[in-house]
Homo-oligomer: A and B are copies of this chain.
Amino acid sequence: MNTDLKNNDVQHYMQTLGQQARAASRAMAKADTATKNKALLAIARAIRGEAASLRAANELDLVAAKNAGMEAAMLDRLSLSEKAIETMALGLEQIAALPDPIGEISNMKYRPSGIQVGQMRVPLGVIGIIYEARPNVTVDAAGLCIKSGNATILRGGSEAIHCNRALAALVKQGLQEAGLPEQAVQVVDTTDRAAVGALITMPQYVDVIVPRGGKGLIERLMREATVPMIKHLDGICHVYIDDRADLEKAIAIGFNAKCHRYGTCNTMETLLVAERVADQILPLLAVEYLKEQVQLRCDSTAYAILQDYPYLARADENDWSTEYLAPILAVKVVGDMDEAIAHINQYSSKHTEAIITEDYSRAMAFLREVDSASVMVNASTRFADGFEYGLGAEIGISNDKLHARGPVGLEGLTSLKYVVFGHGEVRA
């Protein structure tokens, strides 16, 4: 009985947040660029000014998380160092400096009827963001939503609740200073998991959900959500070294794509090498991978070529669809580019793939035929990133095809509506 009541309370609480967000979104859509920037800069100032109390709030979270046995990597993400606080403030200032996407009118053309038709960029409305215990996401996401004229409901990992509460208060203060509704950014102030279930099933109040979290979370949302999502699944990225690859580029990129950082979604997880050059290239690459003690999980052909490599293993079927996020690489020798593309389209998570080749026609065919969010020629997969692409900021990377694909910046938080300038025209 008690559980039901509690669940009803959470439902009611989330409905209230939803209604308030919807109302605030109307004011945000009207807000001009200067006002939105004023709020962003005020929040940055408040964060710097309240660094000490933010760290105190964070300490409460950290102590509780340590007692609960949180892993070191997650503790690191939860921790708000002085540097992390400064980075959050700088991030807001960078968002303030970006061009305002809202109100831009494009493709305005006269039609034979006499009307002029074009499209205007407008906010999506209310954006729900679900993320892990990373307090910096609270501020980044709030900043991007404010700049793009949206209201947002933020649901961060419960382990960061003290810290998120403190940040929410500073965001509200900044919004108020700029004369914007403080309910434009609301942090869900309950650790009850039912709050997530409510947030993803109220399309009347929430226009899109951006989940930033593990595969388990996203798979749950995919089953339960009735609100559309811009979702980020895993990154099983491939590099294919063609038999017409430039050797130097192949080795530099093959090494960089795997070893620049292991834990990122744009890191290469499977290397495909053309049969005709495998004998030559794999041993040279192995010299590089050895420096980082990368384990190579090879198909039988690659295994035979690399038999003296100290960290060698045989790949099984699972390796082709595993996101290692570690110094481990699956290696497969393929007959030609078509076989590489077939492998990629079967096993890739459609995040980022690259071909290394000097052959023009193959480069063009690879770009066209590989069905992934980012497709590259002679560049490291590690470039698949909102900052590297020039988006200025990034709310996430979308593995979806609808609406936004690949790195999602401010524009991904907007929509286009049609606008018509008439002069009294009627339909004949």
Contact between B424 and A248 (Cβ–Cβ < 8 Å)?
yes
Contact between A374 and B420 (Cβ–Cβ < 8 Å)?
yes
Contact between A426 and B111 (Cβ–Cβ < 8 Å)?
no
> A223 — nearest CB in chain B belongs to which residue?
B226
> A423 — nearest CB in chain B belongs to which residue?
B378
Beyond A388-B111, A427-B382, whether A407 also contacts B415 by CB under 8 A is no
A246: chain B residues within 8 A (beta carbon): 424
Beyond A380-B427, A423-B378, whether A418 also contacts B402 by CB under 8 A is no
Complex interface residues of chain A between 251 and 286 (CB less than 8 A to chain B): 252-253, 255-257, 260
A425: chain B residues within 8 A (beta carbon): 378-380, 383
Encode A366-390 as 1/0 by CB contact (under 8 A) with B: 0111011111111110111000111
A427: chain B residues within 8 A (beta carbon): 256, 260, 380, 382-383, 388
Residue A26 at the chain B interface, CB threshold 8 Å:
yes
A389: chain B residues within 8 A (beta carbon): 111, 117, 418
Which of A252, A260, A405: most chain B CB closer than 10 A? A405
State in angstroms the CA–CA spacing of A207 and B403 once bound together: 12
Residue A188 at the chain B interface, CB threshold 8 Å:
no
Encode A398-417 as 1/0 by CB contact (under 8 A) with B: 00111101110000000111
Residue A208 at the chain B interface, CB threshold 8 Å:
yes
State in angstroms the CA–CA spacing of A228 and B120 once bound together: 24
State in angstroms the CA–CA spacing of A424 and B248 once bound together: 8
Binding site for B on A (CB under 8 A): 26, 29-30, 103, 109, 111, 113, 115, 117, 120, 122, 124-125, 203, 207-208, 222-223, 226, 228, 246, 248-249, 252-253, 255-257, 260, 345, 354, 367-369, 371-380, 382-384, 388-390, 400-403, 405-407, 415-427
State in angstroms the CA–CA spacing of A373 and B383 once bound together: 35
Contact between B111 and A367 (Cβ–Cβ < 8 Å)?
no
> How close is A378's CB to chain B, nearest CB, in angstroms?
4
Please name 17 pairs of A and B residues whose Cβ atoms are closer than 8 Å in the assembled complex, sorted by A: A111-B388, A117-B390, A122-B371, A124-B401, A207-B401, A207-B402, A223-B226, A228-B228, A248-B424, A252-B424, A255-B426, A256-B426, A354-B422, A371-B417, A376-B422, A380-B427, A383-B427
Contact between B420 and A377 (Cβ–Cβ < 8 Å)?
yes
A253: chain B residues within 8 A (beta carbon): 422, 424, 426
A371: chain B residues within 8 A (beta carbon): 26, 29, 122, 125, 417
Beyond A345-B26, A402-B208, A403-B403, whether A115 also contacts B424 by CB under 8 A is no
Instruction: In the A-B complex, list the 7 residue pairs whose CB atoms are closest, starting with the nearest.
Output: A379-B422, A256-B426, A249-B424, A376-B420, A382-B427, A378-B422, A403-B403
A113: chain B residues within 8 A (beta carbon): 383, 388
Contact between B417 and A405 (Cβ–Cβ < 8 Å)?
yes
> How close is A424's CB to chain B, nearest CB, in angstroms?
4
> A390 — nearest CB in chain B belongs to which residue?
B111
State in angstroms the CA–CA spacing of A423 and B248 once bound together: 11
Contact between B30 and A401 (Cβ–Cβ < 8 Å)?
no
Beyond A375-B418, A401-B125, whether A388 also contacts B115 by CB under 8 A is yes
